[in-house]
Structure 1
Amino acid sequence: MASHDERTALLVARIASSLNRRLVSLTADITDVLYTEIPDLRADRQLLELLGASVEGNLDTIFHTLQHNIAPENLEAPAAAMEYARRLAQQGVPVNALVRAYRLGQTNLLKLVFDELGGEAVEPELGVPVLERIITVMSVYIDRVSQQVVAVYERERERWLAHQSSVRAVRVQEILAGNEHPDAGASAALNYVLNQNHLAAIIWAPDAGAGDMLAKIESAAHDFSGFMGAVTDPLFVAADRVTGWVWVPLGTRSAPRRDYSELREFLHDRHSELVVAVGGITSGPEGFRQSHARAQRARALAIAAGKNAPVAIAYDEPGVSTVAMLTEDPAATRTWVQSVLRGLAADNENAARLRETVQVYLANNLSNVAAAKVLDLHYNSVKYRVKRAAEERGEDFTRDRLSVELALLVCQWLGPAVLTLDQAKGGHVGGQ
């Protein structure tokens, strides 16, 4: 007969194995909690994927440690956790946000353990020893790993500040934060005139495994600036190893030398591995901040859009500023889109075709004939598709036309992120 300790170990292993089978969903849940509860972790949405990888690596390590009775004192932090700490250091996210993430993650994991234990038929004499073993392993692991990632963070922060043109980078951060009133001294420190028209942009590598891309990004920033009509050298600041901020000096020029469609062609030919978010032209020191803030919003939309995003996205292009605001609460936006479009929000080709037709139909003042010319269809085909779309939605498009147009625009940008795969209806959404 198995000893008391052996039965305890078997029950601990069974609980850990059960949790590990739900690794993907548990990772998503805890990542969502950390992202929601710790505002500093929301500074850059591109890091959300890396946060998820860090959470998954830590959970997987803890579960395997419990399953196989491994001593937690011998464990090292997962590679994704180390990289996430480095990236937070590069972004200037406070280290206490990183420490809090581990504490909050531990609290949420303990709740899952209690729930799992409650579903087991546990002999009374095993309950306390099982909890003691799990809590001890988790506490030792979290304490050890949090020390490791904090050490990595601090080393990276020191290295990063030394690597950057620190005076310029810190001065830019102060101006953007509104902590400094820009004057001639600020312009001299930056080697960039603040009292002129600016076109701010953010350039980044969307591939999370791209490594250190700063040299390529800085080269692209200079190419981009010259293409858009810079009168002198641009101001470039590295945000992290895969992201750069740039301000194009336009002097008195009130419009860029090239339009955004030309810019997309240029970037596709010269820097296809990068994405650019443009903030539009603004003026003076306040414009320096404003154009950058707009570029950040455009970037948030590009990241949310994923593969739907073009190689260059500009805040002042039609619809971008509006949809960008809606990316701040993706769950609420998805719910709203589906409540407006209902069956028309299905994630399949037929529904996409109907949405495109309705979008053109509404843009052409409900004219089947005008929409048919744009879509290169017979007007009867447009009429049929609009009728089918209204049936899928459950009503026509005249009563709340503005909401429908905005919901369709969101679908155009965000695609599957706001759509629903309705298999029951997916094969029946029709169109010619």
Structure 2
Amino acid sequence: MIERGAGDSVADSAAAVVTRLVAKLDEVTARTQAVLMEEVADLRGDAQLVQLMRDNVAANIDTVFSAIRHGIPVEHVEAPTAALEYARRLAQRDVAANALVRAYRIGHQEVLKILLEEIRAAELDPQRRLDVFDEILAVTFRYIDWISQQVLTIYQDEHDRWQQSRNHLRAAEIRGVLAGDDDIDVDAVAAALRYPLRAHHLALVLWCEESAEQDELTVLERHVHEYAAAVGARDRALFVSADRLTGWAWIPLESDRGIPPPDTANPSVNLAAGQPLPGVDGFRRSHRQAQLVRAVLTAAGTGAARAVSAAEPGLMLAGLAGGNLAEARVWVHEVLGPLASADARDERLRETLRVFLRAGQSFTAAAGELHLHFNSVKYRVARAIERRGRPIAADVLDVEVALLLCHWYGDAILRS
């Protein structure tokens, strides 16, 4: 029991309580660690990580106990080495920072319970017990607030460094696959990337404008994982930054069936998607398709963010034809004449004629797709041919391709 002398201060009584627990540090540590393992599932790692957690818990408890016993101001305390190393290790394993913060809060609560039990067991009058608990609560709270800031800074620095290093390694592996090397060890690369290269692959290229309010790459990666969930990915999507505002991604699928088109749920994200294709060759080809889609969207320069798939009819052809946009522009004007103007009326006529030709020159089918009356389609088709200045029967394929380029490139290929 604690003997209280006439001159004992509250701090002295608090130190005496803590001193009794120092001899039971292993027991206090084990009890606190058990609660953390139960309450914070993200901290249940392998034996090495669990041992490091124990060292971290023990070091923090010993440090705060020493501050109480010897009256050391929290701001003069040094962060335990084990605490800093544990934060680094969690960052390296992609354990969320929130789990680390929760661990300190829950651990603090458990240690306070143990301290309160010891205070109740001490021979102190009720008021002194309250004063001692208040003193210990104040010191431990200041310590938790201080150490949390220390470990979070270490965590974030390590997380950024580790992610950057891992991203470089991942990018090198991915570029090796995209280079078309037939000698790659598919299973070894898949293990290194933690991505199933033998699956069907839906490749994405994403990009956005620079923002002072958010981390662009984080926004892009989040969008990838949301889309992956929407299409029923069989495993975690693979994401790598191509630059500060651009990301490449692959979503593994069981097959190429039933894939919903990409959307623009995030108005700041542009998304170009390939088509789902199997195996390593599909990994490469789907990515090339996505890059071609991006080239079309970038050349069109519509301003508003878009999400477009290579599965769109005629888009791949438009991408190939747009390799020399200046020559394509001249050719489109030669084929369509005055119909290739940026006027809104000509745009309606072009779109009607494009759908009509794609529908096998069926007025009925075109009317159904455009939600127009049969006679309205017939009138617009006739008016479009009149605007062109000559019939389309002799070069209908050229006309269809020229209309396709106008549809995808818009003002970038039209006459103002």
For 1:393 and 1:400, the matched residues in 2 are separated by 12
1:147-170 deviation digits (Å, cap 9, x = unpaired): xxxxxxxxxxxx999555222221
Alignment CA distance shift 1:413-1:184 (3 Å)? same
| Structure-1 residue corresponding to 2:260 | 259
Contact 1:213 1:242 in 2 (8 A): yes
Q: Which of 168, 171, 178 is residue 176 of structure 1 equivalent to?
A: 178
For 2:311 and 2:170, the matched residues in 1 are separated by 28
Contact 1:228 1:256 in 2 (8 A): no
| Structure-2 residue corresponding to 1:346 | 341
| Structure-1 residue corresponding to 2:319 | 324
Contact 2:210 2:216 in 1 (8 A): no
Which amino acid counterpart does residue 355 of structure 1 have in structure 2?
A: R
Which amino acid counterpart does residue 255 of structure 2 have in structure 1?
A: S
Is 1:334 matched up with 2:336?
no
Is 1:399 matched up with 2:390?
no
Report 1:261-300 matches (<5 A): 263-264=262-263, 267-268=264-265, 271-300=266-295
Contact 1:344 1:392 in 2 (8 A): yes
Q: Which of 167, 170, 177 is residue 169 of structure 2 equivalent to?
A: 167
| Structure-2 residue corresponding to 1:227 | 230
C-alpha RMSD of matched pairs (Å): 2.5
Alignment CA distance shift 1:212-1:256 (3 Å)? farther
Task: Give, in angstroms, the shift of residue 296 of structure 1.
Answer: 0.8
Which amino acid counterpart does residue 170 of structure 2 have in structure 1?
A: R
| Structure-1 residue corresponding to 2:351 | 356
Task: Give, in angstroms, the shift of residue 256 of structure 1.
Answer: 5.1
SS of the aligned residue for 2:323 comes to: coil
Task: Give, in angstroms, the shift of residue 357 of structure 1.
Answer: 2.3
| Structure-1 residue corresponding to 2:200 | 197
1:255-276 deviation digits (Å, cap 9, x = unpaired): 255421xx32xx42xx221011
Task: Give, in angstroms, the shift of residue 384 of structure 1.
Answer: 3.5
Task: Give, in angstroms, the shift of residue 415 of structure 1.
Answer: 0.8
Task: Give, in angstroms, the shift of residue 366 of structure 1.
Answer: 3.3
Identity among equivalent positions (%) equals 40
For 1:203 and 1:348, the matched residues in 2 are separated by 31
For 2:196 and 2:347, the matched residues in 1 are separated by 47
Task: Give, in angstroms, the shift of residue 365 of structure 1.
Answer: 3.6
- Alignment length, in residue pairs? 254
Contact 1:300 1:324 in 2 (8 A): yes
Long gaps (5+) in structure 2: 1-160
Contact 1:197 1:284 in 2 (8 A): yes
1:125-172 deviation digits (Å, cap 9, x = unpaired): xxxxxxxxxxxxxxxxxxxxxxxxxxxxxxxxxx99955522222111
Task: Give, in angstroms, the shift of residue 368 of structure 1.
Answer: 4.2
| Structure-1 residue corresponding to 2:25 | none
TM-score (norm 2): 0.56
Which amino acid counterpart does residue 358 of structure 1 have in structure 2?
A: L
Long gaps (5+) in structure 1: 1-158, 422-432
Alignment CA distance shift 1:383-1:218 (3 Å)? closer
| Structure-1 residue corresponding to 2:405 | 410
Report 1:7-406 matches (<5 A): 162-179=164-181, 181-205=184-208, 207=209, 212-250=215-253, 253-255=254-256, 257-260=258-261, 263-264=262-263, 267-268=264-265, 271-307=266-302, 311-406=306-401
For 1:287 and 1:215, the matched residues in 2 are separated by 26
SS of the aligned residue for 2:275 comes to: strand
Contact 1:175 1:182 in 2 (8 A): no
Alignment CA distance shift 1:378-1:315 (3 Å)? closer
Alignment CA distance shift 1:354-1:213 (3 Å)? same
For 1:412 and 1:308, the matched residues in 2 are separated by 16
Alignment CA distance shift 1:369-1:282 (3 Å)? closer
Task: Give, in angstroms, the shift of residue 361 of structure 1.
Answer: 2.8
Contact 1:167 1:189 in 2 (8 A): no
SS of the aligned residue for 1:277 comes to: strand
Which amino acid counterpart does residue 169 of structure 1 have in structure 2?
A: A
1:354-406 deviation digits (Å, cap 9, x = unpaired): 11222233234434455445445454443433333222212112111111111
Which amino acid counterpart does residue 170 of structure 1 have in structure 2?
A: A
1:99-141 deviation digits (Å, cap 9, x = unpaired): xxxxxxxxxxxxxxxxxxxxxxxxxxxxxxxxxxxxxxxxxxx
SS of the aligned residue for 2:415 comes to: coil
